[in-house]
Amino acid sequence: MTRPIIGVTTSRRSGWRIFPLVDLNIRIAGGRGRRWGAGRPADIDAVDGVIIGGGDDISPELYGGAPVIGVRLDPARDALERRLAEEALARNIPILGICRGAQMLNVALGGTLDQDAWQTFGRESEIRTILPRRRIDVLDDTHLARIAGQADMDVNALHSQAVNRLGDGLRVSARDENGMIQAVERIRDPFAIGVQWHPEHLFYARRQRAIFRALVVAARARAEARNQAAAVREDALGPA
């Protein structure tokens, strides 16, 4: 069976080292990654699924926040990822948002962000590590619980922003012990989940691999449906 193609957005600064890791997770799950980014071609019609990756902070201009000083912004990446998120949702293309990507999914659906999450929730609770040292509560009766299990989960944390007001059609699927939102998901199709942590660094954990597998399964289902529809159209038109 052909591996579904997953478009992966990356940071200009760290994409060269992060994309191979994300692609490894996609390939373990049965798919194949295609790197996107500002200045790179990003054709939504050429992929079966989308991952919006981590990295730079999102400009507060996108959600009506206050200007900030001393943070890394990339307006070109903001514009690209917002467009891709909106187009993917409109075309029923599955989406996984990772850290910044979860925040962008929320913003694309009209939500807002907490620009300094650790100030809001307490500097004493700040964790910045790729190791799974933050305990989160996976909420009952959510897509995330069905995908990765309902038990508490240990994850990493590399973010400074966090989801604040939810975007249209989203619900919370995980919070940490301080109440900070750690995962969001779309209530209805298409498949769209955003996780605040970096599961690509935790590929040795079965529950983290399950998140990538769920995306690939949804992408494959969409690709097969699209191919079947194309075959029906071709049969209806008959030979040229």
> Catalytic residue positions?
99, 198, 200
| CA 40 – CA 84 distance, rounded (Å) | 13
| CA 56 – CA 234 distance, rounded (Å) | 44
Contacts of 55 by beta carbon, 8 Å cutoff, 6+ apart: 10, 11, 13, 14, 15, 18, 74, 77, 99, 100
Indicate left, alpha or beta for 26 from its phi (over 0: left) and psi (-120 to 50: alpha).
Answer: alpha
Task: Enumerate helices (H) and strands (E) in the chain, giving the number of each.
Answer: 6, 11
